[in-house]
C-alpha cells in the first residue's frame, strides 16, 4: 500500500490539502486528529477530566472507527460534535499521554495496511508511519493560522474573538510541540511547505509535483 503523511500545526491547511490530494490520487483520506477528538469527546461525555491522565488511561475502552469524512464512536456518528475548541484542546491534552497514543496507534496502522492513504496529523511521518513513501510538513505563521481559524469559526455561525483564537492556537502549539511523547515536528525526510503567503491551489501544485517526481523515481 502507498502512504502519504501530512503533518503540521493547527490551522496550517492540513485538512483542506489532505482532502484535495487524496481526491486527486484516488486515495483514502484519514483525519487522525478526528480519532483523538472522538476519544476526547468520549471523555467529556463521561465527565472525565482531560488532565486526569490516570482516569483517562483507565477508560480507553471505546471503539473508534473513521469512515471517509465521518468518525464513529461506539457505532455512533460523532462527526458533528468534535469540532469545538473545547474538544480540540482536550484532544491536544490527552494526545500527550503515551497509553492513549499506543491505544490509537493500531487503529491508524491497520487502515494503512488495507488502503492507499493520505494521513493527516501531527506525528504521522515521525511515529505512526516512519516508512511512508512521501511525507509533508505543512506550516504557516501563527497570525495567518489564527486568521484562518477565526474565519472558519465565523463561517460556522459562531462569534469568536480573534484574541482568544490566537491564544488558543498558541497554547495548542506549545502543548503539541513540547509534549514528551511524539511531539509535533517535521520528519527528517519530510518536504517542508510554508503556506503563509501562498494559496491552496499553489500548495496543491507543489505537493502534486513532489509526489509525481518522487514516485517516478521509485
Going from N- to C-terminal start, the domains of the chain cover: 3-193
Q: Are 120 and 33 in contact (CB under 8 A)?
A: yes
Q: Are 139 and 192 in contact (CB under 8 A)?
A: yes
The closest alpha carbon to 36, from 212, 197, 175, belongs to: 175
Intra-chain end-to-end CA distance of the chain, in Å: 14
pLDDT value, residue 217: 67
Query: Would you say residue 181 has pLDDT above 90?
Result: no
C-alpha cell at 118: 493520505
* pLDDT digits 0-9 by tens, 86-109: 998 999 899 999 999 999 998 899
Provide the H-helix boundaries in 26-161: 32-45, 53-58, 85-94, 98-114, 142-155
Which residues lie across from 7 on neighbouring strands?
121, 137
Among the four given CATH numbers 1.10.357.10, 2.10.109.10, 3.40.50.2000, 3.40.50.300, the one describing domain 3-193 = 3.40.50.300
- What is the pTM for the complete model shown? 0.85
Exposed, middle or buried: residue 159 (CB in 10 Å: 0-12, 13-18, 19+)?
exposed
* pLDDT digits 0-9 by tens, 145-166: 999 999 989 998 889 999 999 9
CA angle, 78 then 53 then 165, to 5°: 55
Only one residue has cell 510538513, namely 137
Amino acid at each position: 500500500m502507498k502512504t502519504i503523511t501530512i503533518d503540521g500545526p493547527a490551522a496550517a491547511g492540513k485538512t483542506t490539502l489532505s482532502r484535495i490530494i487524496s481526491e486527486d490520487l484516488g486515495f483514502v483520506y484519514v483525519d487522525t486528529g478526528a480519532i483523538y477528538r472522538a476519544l476526547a469527546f468520549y471523555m467529556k461525555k463521561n465527565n472525565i477530566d482531560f488532565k486526569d491522565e490516570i482516569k483517562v488511561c483507565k477508560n480507553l475502552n471505546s471503539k473508534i472507527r473513521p469512515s471517509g469524512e465521518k468518525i464513529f464512536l461506539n457505532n455512533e456518528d460523532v462527526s458533528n460534535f468534535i469540532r469545538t475548541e473545547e474538544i480540540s484542546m482536550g484532544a491536544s491534552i490527552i494526545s500527550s499521554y503515551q497509553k492513549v497514543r499506543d491505544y490509537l496507534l493500531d487503529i491508524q496502522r491497520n487502515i494503512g495496511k488495507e488502503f492507499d492513504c493520505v494521513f493527516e496529523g501531527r506525528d504521522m511521518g515521525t511515529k505512526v508511519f516512519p516508512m511512508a513513501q512521501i511525507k509533508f510538513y505543512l506550516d504557516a505563521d501563527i497570525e495567518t493560522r489564527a486568521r484562518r481559524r477565526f474565519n472558519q469559526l465565523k463561517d460556522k455561525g459562531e462569534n469568536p474573538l480573534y484574541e482568544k483564537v490566537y491564544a488558543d492556537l498558541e497554547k495548542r502549539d506549545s502543548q503539541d510541540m513540547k509534549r514528551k511523547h511524539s511531539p509535533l515536528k517535521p520528519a527528517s525526510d519530510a518536504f517542508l511547505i510554508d503556506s503563509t503567503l501562498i494559496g491552496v491551489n499553489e500548495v496543491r501544485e507543489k505537493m502534486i509535483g513532489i509526489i509525481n517526481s518522487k514516485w517516478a523515481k521509485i
